[in-house]
Amino acid sequence: MPILAFDAGTSSVKAVVASQSSQGGWVVHAHACSAHDPPHARATGEAEQSPHSWWEALARAVRMLSEQTDLDAVEAISLSGQMQSVILVDAAGAAVRTTLTLILTCACVVSSEP
């Protein structure tokens, strides 16, 4: 049973298609790494990234995987990432602005005020 796993990091989306071997380990059928735009850090402590850039990197990674293996065989998808960001979307589900990331430092300053 092949699985498709994605990891969205601060600099790229990594993806792998793998299945368990009969010996108990894992067999990698395909792998990809697709860079996205870096975080934009401001002097005020905010750090933002474009959700569109994340999505484009994921789409590129899927295309790379499809050149290496049959994705129709995938039976499960796993997602992980460095961000616990809120992505604000409109009624159609499209991101309406950049997303604040975990590397921001402005919250520390605000939270230390009485």
* Structural domains of the chain, count: 1
| CATH classification of the domain holding 86 | 3.30.420.40
What secondary structure does DSSP assign to 48-81, as a single string? Answer: EE-HHHHHHHHHHHHHHHHTTS-GGG--EEEEEE
Domain range enclosing 14: 3-111
pLDDT at 106: 58
What is the biggest distance separating any 2 CA atoms in the chain, rounded to whole angstroms?
A: 59
pLDDT at 45 over 80: no
**pLDDT value at position 83?**
64
What's the pTM value of the predicted model, to 2 decimals?
Answer: 0.80
| Through-space distance between the first and last CA atoms of the chain, rounded to whole angstroms | 54
pLDDT at 104: 57
